[in-house]
Structure 1
């Protein structure tokens, strides 16, 4: 939505972190390929990058004008994770990779830890603190940056 409003290209970090050619869920892309793609993204004059990665995306943090930490309630995120799984199982989401129930449980556990521990730690200790804007809703981002 933000990309469309501002007419700025949007890149999803999951698209370069995970091996999209793998037949099973959870296979990572090569670091060299991933890092090259990230370098390509941030070489443009303007861009929006979305993802929950921290360590390997430092080039995007240093190049960014703003870092938006979108922190919706964990309960809402959990509902969305389950819905995505259900959509994939039913075929509504045409993703080739099939998550297992164990994959979803692991993701739910990871998601809670990320949101309750890792993200707050990142925000508190990030060397780019002055660039961070924290919001809880997508519409807050639109309001902040488009009005």
Structure 2
């Protein structure tokens, strides 16, 4: 099974990908980690060739879960995915999740791949707005070609029902 999960910041991509990965016992990849090499002193952006090779190395595997919000360079992953999960929650719900995540990260209840600074927190609101206004319409148009394997969820119940379905096989 190859599952690609997309959605805006705060949509629950990482949480769902971790659950699916654990349940199906398949590798989980974040597209952010193709773009960035993580360092304690600050992340370093990978060269385009490195980023693209990391994606290729992931998608040639027999089974995986990939999650992220990047577009265009990630098209090969969408093409070979068995299922594309689009977490399309209302913007206000994503805003609530961004706030909750920031608080949890500051309290060290939730792990972050980045330093949870206030400026990063504010950028997430910008990214959320940008996704809604720019990326979401583009993604919807792009995914018309993948309609046969696209699942668009707008509620937690829809996600839970799908997750129970894949658990059963």
TM-score, with normalisation over the residues of structure 2?
Answer: 0.71
Deviates more, 1:136-145 or 1:54-63: 136-145
C-alpha distance 5-99 of structure 1, shift in aligned 2 (>3 A): closer
**Counterpart in the other structure of 1:107:** 124
Q: Map 1:24-63 to 2 at 5 A.
A: 24=42, 27-63=44-80
Q: Map 1:45-84 to 2 at 5 A.
A: 45-84=62-101
Does the residue aligned with 1:15 lie in a helix, a strand or coil?
helix
Q: Quote the offset at 1:49 in angstroms.
A: 0.6
How big is the alpha-carbon RMSD for the aligned residues of Structure 1 and Structure 2?
Answer: 2.5
Gaps of 5+ in 1: none
Per-residue CA deviation, residues 99-143 of structure 1 (Å, 9 max, x unaligned), is 432322222121122135422331233333332110123314304
Matched, 1:141 2:159: no
Q: Measure the CA separation in 2 of the matches of 1:120 and 1:140.
A: 25
Does the residue aligned with 1:56 lie in a helix, a strand or coil?
coil
Match of 2:41 among 1, 23, 35: 23
Q: Quote the offset at 1:145 in angstroms.
A: 3.1
**Counterpart in the other structure of 2:20:** 2
C-alpha distance 95-113 of structure 1, shift in aligned 2 (>3 A): closer
Q: Quote the offset at 1:15 in angstroms.
A: 2.1
Q: Measure the CA separation in 2 of the matches of 1:103 and 1:129.
A: 34
Q: Measure the CA separation in 1 of the matches of 2:117 and 2:162.
A: 33
Deviates more, 1:127-136 or 1:105-114: 127-136
Does the residue aligned with 2:73 lie in a helix, a strand or coil?
helix
Q: Quote the offset at 1:97 in angstroms.
A: 3.9
Number of residue-to-residue matches in the alignment: 146
Gaps of 5+ in 2: 1-18
**Richer in strand (by share):** 2
C-alpha distance 99-29 of structure 1, shift in aligned 2 (>3 A): farther
